[in-house]
Structure 1
Amino acid sequence: MAPALTIRVRHRLLDVDLELPMDSAAPVTVLFGASGAGKTTLLRCVAGLEKPAPPSRIAFGPEVWNDGRHQVRPRHRRVGYLFQDHALFPHLSVDANVAYGLVGVPRGERRTRTNSALATAGATHLSGRATSELSGGEAQRVALARALAVDPRLLLLDEPLSALDGPTRARLRTELRSILVATGTPTLLVTHDRTEALALGDRIVVLVNGHVHQQGPVESVFSQPATPHVAEAVGVENVLPGTVEGNGDGVVHIRLSSGTLTALDPGDLVVGTRVLACIRAEDVALEATEPHRASPRNHIPALVRSVVSEGPLQRVELDAGVPLAAYITRPACEDLGLAPGSRVTAVMKATAVHVIARIEGE
């Protein structure tokens, strides 16, 4: 049975209780949230680089690393740490950087483990190079090799791709996922980037202002945020306030200021409950004319406020009695002749609408 990483931390803004399975078959847990949510501070506490006070407790399986008073030193935890800016020593060669954590290891074994770590990180070709000659992507490969060289029980990655340019980041994202799955090393990965979380993670913990608001499989958390704060953190573009006006046959009908929306019934709502309907912009289609009402989809008349290009997609901001956003392709935008002032119908499936009970005061 895989060990669990138990984290109870009361430190700075953090107030966290977690028990995370360290499963080699699904090794990557993402710590996700906006800047200032406490992600890096939590990672540093696990690494032993910060010492949270009582009643904090951090344990890896039966081994207690911190009980709030006594702390196992970082080097005795056998964790690998990859910093956001790679933190390589500029006066050391690539090989010396990778071997830096192998204190007390015989010279021959040091060489073997250094070569193995470079190979795993896809950086064998960088052996013998001066650190000052490396590109950003190469430096991150070497930093990953250094983290792997100590044969860590736990790998800690702090925004590992954020300092790289777009094309390099996209390429290394796929390679990093392959490396983590191949090694099976349990990993905590900090990111605020939605694409990285989806591409790299098996599980996710969403932090908001130092508190855990939701955790679970990545796809579940992104598609079914548990609170409005999580919806905002994971980038759900449309969060519409409404009131339950009826339910039955597995669906719930939500009264908005501009009409009625139908969604799948989560099973715990009664008539009159104030709710938030969460809809991703990519799940909103636009039509120029009123569709046939026999369609099982939701239809909301709207006025185009703006059309903004975002890479291959067009973000269309709508006034549907409430603000609404949709992502459509450029050809679709041209076919519809969209411009500020255009009247359209926003169309979405009931299965694309995730409903959250609204907490009073929100």
Structure 2
Amino acid sequence: MKIRPLFIFSTLAFSTIASAEVPTLTVYTYDSFTAEWGPAPLLKPLFEKECGCNLKFMPFQDAITMFNRVRLEGKKTKADIVLGLDNFTLPEAKQSNLFTPYQLDLVELNLPYQWQDNTFYPYDFGEFAFIYNSKKLQKPPKSLQELVEREDLKIIYQDPRTSTVGQGLLMWINKVYKDKAVSAWQSLAKHTVTIGKGWSETYGAFLKGESDMVLSYSTSPLYHQWYEKNDDYKAVSFAEGHLSQIEVAAILKSSKHKELARQFLAFLHKKEPQKIIATHNIMKPVIAENIDPALNNLPKYKVLEMQSPDKNTLRKWQFEWQKAVSQ
């Protein structure tokens, strides 16, 4: 009698069926979120324990690259959720007609302004800022204008066509300089050493000593304080003020796991996931709870309010930037 082989076959068949019944939620995001030091490796087991599902993060070099992939894939995308768009990319994201309302009640949020969008779900935020090493740069610029005009400063920032951080600088320059933005880009280009595709690449180059300053976030010094016990890195506060980036997640209309996707979004606003995101993505939490004392001790930055430009305006600004830096 072939009892043992039959038993093995039955066991394997049961295992295969059980495995097939476990849904997989796929989240497209940017590479620093999924890095070994990022939030994803800690969020994954925490959510999987809650949902009884598989959580799969698929990283891209930057959020704009991720969004372009989703648009290219359309209804055939494997993504259930995109995580990493921001308040400045929302007009274009809405026009894509790829996303569905999250249908969740928002808890009390700790954001620079009231959040009213019902499709894009905020999970962290922070002000764009330039970072420097205070041991190496004794006299940092006190304004955006000084940063633009001081040719003794070596600057690194991100490409506004591929990076939400770089796009943030595009907004910032146009907000402050208005019709003189092209002249500002030309001045900045004289002492820009690198324009990278994404944040990880550019911040890494800065840490290697390739520049005096790098475009990042007001919260970036916290990484060095928390994980390196190093207080040398500072974020400059500019006299003109700073733009706030609010990062969001959204559910794809094409997702076959919408309820699971909503569960994941709601999960992002719980205290433990918010702490993980704040301390591993190095951004401010969106919930109004005490997450970490260091976050409460951050300097207060003057926040510039700015409406997201429409698609045509954004393309015009990108063209002006590209022309100015290539001269």
Q: Which has the higher helix share?
A: 2
In our comparison, the structure showing a higher alpha carbon Rg is 1
Instruction: Specify the TM-score bucket, using the shorter chain as the normaliser.
Output: under 0.3
TM-score by length of 2: 0.24
Bigger relative CO (Cα 8 Å, ≥ 6 apart): 2
